């Protein structure tokens, strides 16, 4: 039997390095031995008409994408007799541009719509995103995010000495400042309530002046990201080796845009054996089981303070959530456990 041939055009920046989302959703899966046995996949920045069964185009593909370039690519794919598969994990039609550090052009949105409407099939990461895009294409398939277990080190039991402070951590970039602001009043209150018994760490950078001003009043440790470990395949091992949070924080505003988001932070925290507190929003309600694999809190300071108190006071519950979350990720959300999803979807498209 001939193995189907795929060419994947991953999204990248001006440095030509694949974006982290491309690594998670396309590169790591199709470099995995289980999928390599099912598909002959190549990866690149361009497509020059090679004989393949399908070309997978990722999100915005390349910097400065325009409609002319997009149409030329699709024409090349059609001319070669290949299927055009479009991969997307964000709802660009409801994008809140105020959260971005770059200004998207009107043509960029036209490109996304063109790719969605002309694709033979569209791959998305959530049911909500599929529903949002259903008016543009009837061939939409959901393949949930899964982590590459080869990047995950064996679990290590960290025994916290009695009296050591509880470490709460937040991981995000400046594009998530609005989410961070949801919990900052609660963090302020809990640090005051548990003075000397709680530490707050932020991994990444906060961009907006009002967020920086609030953080300046907190005893918070900001952990900058070394550019050398920013690439996804370097970051995950580094995160597991260097970040030892007792509680991971994942606030998320409930907006039309975020309702199509995936639960990737739940996977990241769970794989690292971190008990997470998550906003009670669609991205997490479907997979985070309250008090079992995480803690779900409404987007109010009161509910987040309650969550902090519960997990700070109850180490048995905290450790149980961390253990259960890791078990869930390893059993159900790794490429090894989900590779058949890819095989079934691609085979049905071809």
| pLDDT for res 210 | 59
Judge whether 39 and 4 are in contact, CB under 8 Å: yes
| pLDDT for res 98 | 61
Spans of the chain below 70 pLDDT: 1, 97-103, 158, 173-177, 205-217, 227-229
User: CATH classification of 151-333, choosing from 1.10.420.10, 3.40.640.10, 3.60.15.10, 3.40.50.2000?
Assistant: 3.40.50.2000
| pLDDT for res 201 | 92
User: CATH classification of 5-146+335-349, choosing from 3.40.50, 3.30.43, 1.10.10, 3.30.420?
Assistant: 3.40.50
Distance from C-alpha of 336 to C-alpha of 147, rounded to nearest angstrom? 9
Distance from C-alpha of 105 to C-alpha of 101, rounded to nearest angstrom? 13
Distance from C-alpha of 345 to C-alpha of 350, rounded to nearest angstrom? 9
**Exposed, middle or buried: residue 254 (CB in 10 Å: 0-12, 13-18, 19+)?**
middle
| pLDDT for res 99 | 60
pLDDT digits (tens, 9 = 90+) for 314-347: 999 999 999 999 999 999 999 999 999 999 999 9
Distance from C-alpha of 293 to C-alpha of 146, rounded to nearest angstrom? 16
pTM for this prediction: 0.92
pLDDT digits (tens, 9 = 90+) for 211-249: 666 666 677 888 877 766 678 999 999 999 999 999 999
What are the residue ranges spanned by the domains of the chain? Answer: 5-146+335-349, 151-333
| pLDDT for res 318 | 96
| pLDDT for res 173 | 61
Domains 5-146+335-349 and 151-333 share a fold: yes
């Amino acid at each position: 039997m001939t193995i189907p041939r795929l060419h994947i055009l991953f999204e990248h920046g001006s440095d030509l390095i694949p974006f982290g989302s491309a690594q998670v959703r396309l590169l790591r899966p199709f470099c995995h031995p289980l999928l390599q046995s099912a598909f002959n996949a190549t990866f690149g920045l361009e497509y020059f008409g090679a004989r393949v069964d399908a070309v997978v185009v990722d999100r915005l593909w390349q910097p400065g994408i325009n409609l002319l370039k997009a149409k030329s690519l699709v024409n090349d794919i059609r001319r070669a007799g290949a299927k055009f598969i479009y991969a997307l994990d964000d709802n660009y039609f409801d994008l809140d541009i105020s959260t971005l550090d770059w200004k998207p052009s009107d043509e960029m949105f036209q490109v996304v719509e063109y790719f969605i409407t002309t694709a033979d099939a569209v791959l998305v990461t959530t049911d909500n995103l599929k529903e949002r895009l259903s008016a543009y294409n009837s061939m939409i398939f959901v393949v949930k995010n899964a982590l590459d277990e080869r990047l995950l080190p064996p679990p290590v039991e960290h025994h916290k000495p009695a009296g050591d402070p509880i470490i709460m951590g937040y991981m995000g970039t400046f594009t998530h400042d609005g989410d961070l602001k949801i919990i900052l009043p609660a963090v302020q209150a809990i640090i005051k309530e548990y003075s000397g018994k709680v530490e707050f760490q932020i991994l990444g950078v906060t961009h907006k002046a009002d967020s920086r001003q609030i953080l300046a009043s907190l005893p918070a440790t900001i952990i900058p990201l070394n550019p050398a470990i920013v690439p996804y395949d370097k970051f995950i091992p580094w995160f597991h080796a260097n970040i030892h949070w007792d509680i991971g924080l994942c606030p998320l505003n409930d907006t039309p845009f975020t309702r199509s988001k995936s639960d990737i932070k739940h996977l990241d925290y769970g794989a690292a054996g971190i008990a997470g507190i998550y906003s009670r929003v669609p991205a997490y309600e479907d997979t985070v089981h309250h008090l079992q694999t995480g803690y779900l809190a409404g987007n109010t300071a009161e509910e987040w303070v309650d969550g902090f108190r519960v997990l700070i006071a109850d180490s048995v519950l905290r450790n149980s959530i961390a253990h259960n979350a890791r078990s869930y990720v390893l059993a159900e959300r790794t490429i090894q456990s989900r590779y058949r999803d890819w095989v079934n979807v691609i085979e049905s498209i071809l």
